[in-house]
Amino acid sequence: MNRAPEAPPIASRDNPRVKRLRRLVHDGSAYRREGVVWVEGDHLCRALLARGWQPQVVVASPAAQALVQAWQRDAGLAPEVPVWTLSEALMAQLSTLESPAPIACLVALPAVGGVQAGVPTVVLDRLQDPGNVGSILRSAAAFGFRQVLALRGTAALWSPKVLRAGMGAHFGLSLIEGLDAAALAALQVPLIATSSHQGDWLHTARLPWPCAWLLGHEGQGVHPALMAQAAQTVRIIQPGGEESLNVAAAAAICLHASAAAAAGGL
């Protein structure tokens, strides 16, 4: 235990620590300036500890101190990590969840290396919706992809909303954002583009492994200039007709097909 349990919790909205947390929580891209990420709730924080990450700080309500001790005991939280105790009311104001979480972490934004060659990859071309982006990260992790590249114009990958939808996938993937299309040349795996109206039917296509899937903007799809760089274009059978698929649903279908092909099953 590294804190005095008798210390009164921070209760003022004007406390400098609280002001900094508020910026991080409510401005989805503030982590880029601050170099630190707000990770909220027991599930997400345990996911990062399970991957061997350590937070810079744990932020907890008075009632959540037992949770901090449980993390130290069985989830790998290092005892030297400082704990900021905030009043229940302040924690509830900070939370982005409908049922406010009594606990959160600040973690350093991981240092970004270069694009890795030869690795199963997902490329996000200007995806807008944080829920879609998080869901795609989660599918990417589940299906054995190791790297996600977000082209300029994509939703901020480490925003609270994307983290929540990612359900811990962030901590097991190599993530790079703000890239230009030229960066994809370093991938050295076949680029497969998804399209709503052209290309091979996914369910009968032969898929290479490793590969990089190119997923496009919710309304506009993959940019034509990128589409032209693809080694293969696939589309998804839609016997229901004109309905369009959600991009995260389309991504799940494509990434699963890749995993199945890699396992020799398709």
Q: Which of 113, 118, 224, 239 binds a copy of itself (CB under 8 A)?
A: 239
Comparing CB distances to a copy of itself, the nearer of 191 and 250 is: 250
Measured from the Cβ of residue 118, the count of other Cβ atoms closer than 10 Å reads 9
Give the length of the chain.
Answer: 266
Q: Using N-to-C axis directions, what is the helix angle for 247-262 and 130-142, rounded to 10°?
A: 10
Q: Which of 60, 141, 149, 227 binds a copy of itself (CB under 8 A)?
A: 141
- Pick the piece of the chain touching a copy of itself (CB under 8 A) from 53-61, 77-85, 131-139, 220-228: 131-139
Q: Is 5 in the site for a copy of itself (CB under 8 A)?
A: no
CA 121, 126, 131 angle in degrees (round to 5)?
80
Q: Which of 38, 71, 143, 158 binds a copy of itself (CB under 8 A)?
A: 143
- Min dist. Cβ of residue 197 to a copy of itself (A): 14
Q: Is 263 in the site for a copy of itself (CB under 8 A)?
A: yes
For residue 119, what are the contacts with CB-CB under 8 A and spacing of at least 6? 146, 147, 174, 187, 189, 210
Sheet with 200-201, side-by-side order of all strands: 174-179, 147-151, 121-125, 212-216, 191-194, 232-235, 200-201
Give the residue among 190, 132, 140 at the shortest CA–CA distance from 162: 132
Q: Is 265 in the site for a copy of itself (CB under 8 A)?
A: yes
Q: How far apart are CA 69 and CA 23, in angstroms?
A: 27
Give the residue among 61, 67, 105 at the shortest CA–CA distance from 87: 61
Question: Taking CB under 8 A as the rule, which mask of x and - marks residues 47-86 in contact with a copy of itself?
Answer: ----------------------------------------
Q: How far apart are CA 138 and CA 140, in angstroms?
A: 5
Comparing CB distances to a copy of itself, the nearer of 31 and 171 is: 171
Show contacts with a copy of itself in window 172-231 (CB under 8 A): 172, 201-204
Q: Which of 135, 159, 195, 233 binds a copy of itself (CB under 8 A)?
A: 135
Q: Which two tokens stand for residue 119?
A: 């690795």
Q: Is 240 in the site for a copy of itself (CB under 8 A)?
A: yes
Give the residue among 60, 45, 46, 49 at the shortest CA–CA distance from 7: 60
- Pick the piece of the chain touching a copy of itself (CB under 8 A) from 33-41, 59-67, 227-235, 254-262: 254-262
Q: Which of 46, 126, 138, 223 binds a copy of itself (CB under 8 A)?
A: 138
List contacts with a copy of itself (CB under 8 A): 131, 135, 138-145, 165, 167-169, 172, 201-204, 236-240, 243-246, 248-253, 256-257, 259-260, 262-263, 265-266
